[in-house]
Amino acid sequence: RSLRRCFAQPFRDRSQNSPVGSKVTRTPTPGLWQGFLGVIRRDLLLAWKRPGNVVNPLFFFLMVSTLFPLAVGPSTEQLRLSGPGVVWVAALLATLLSLNSLFLRDHDDGSLDQLILSPQPLPLLALAKAAAHWLVTGLPLVLISPVISIMFQMPVPTIKVMILTLFFGSISLSLLGSIGSALTIGIHRGSALLSLLILPLAMPILIFGARTVSLSVTNDPTAGGIYFL
């Protein structure tokens, strides 16, 4: 805000005191909603041009989730009981893989400075960045989770609970990750520090998410965990 005042005040004084400046027409500032959608659209286009940002977390999630049933064995009861924890741990680790690049590329190419100097509120822009990250990383995990749940031989009601918990939980992880990513911008080996910052905060989400799905396997009430997420 102080930077915006420093840049805006000289031009404001000049436009008020000089006859030439009084004729300058200023372009209107876009609204909050337009700025919010503009940041999301930009990040989605960049993710489309860099498919590795989408493929790598999704491939890691699939790899961890599919290898575990092969190691455990074909026991239906064991797969159903261990499946919720495995899927949630894989989703958490896959989300952590992509958090380091949330603000890093914008910091390297100077786009982050432009966002700071823009007239839009910084919390709104950060929320837009987190929303774009969820659309690129979290939403594919939610969409692929029914296939993974079938591999663990979960019943249909449990699959619905899995989708619902991952939906809310992945949003929370993206919001927490945006805080950690902003704090570790420009730090050497910031990805390791980011994991140390986010993992303690993400533990309640992991515990409630996996526990809620496990309660669904045993036909116990799941509303409390879903409300928490």
- Cα–Cα distances in Å, from 35 out to 54, 93, 114, 137? 24, 31, 13, 22
Q: What's the rounded Cα separation, in Å, for the pair 19 and 14?
A: 9
Asked if 212 and 82 touch (Cβ cutoff 8 Å), the reply is: no
d(CA 162, CA 144): 11
Structure confidence at residue 97 (pLDDT): 85
pLDDT tens readout for residues 54-63: 788 889 999 9
Structure token pair of residue 182? 């902003």
Full 3-state SS string of 179-219 = HHHHHCCCCCCHHHHHHHHHHHHHHHHHHHHHHHHHHHHCC
Dist CA 198 CA 190 (whole Å): 12
Q: Which of 78-87, 113-122, 127-136 has the lowest mean pLDDT?
A: 113-122
What is the rounded distance in angstroms from the CA atom of residue 79 to the CA atom of residue 75?
Answer: 6
Per-residue pLDDT tens digits for 35-93: 788 888 988 888 888 877 778 888 999 998 888 888 877 777 888 888 899 999 999 99
Please name the residue that has the structure tokens 């890093």.
Answer: 104
- Region 27-34: what's the mean pLDDT? 64
DSSP state of 125: H
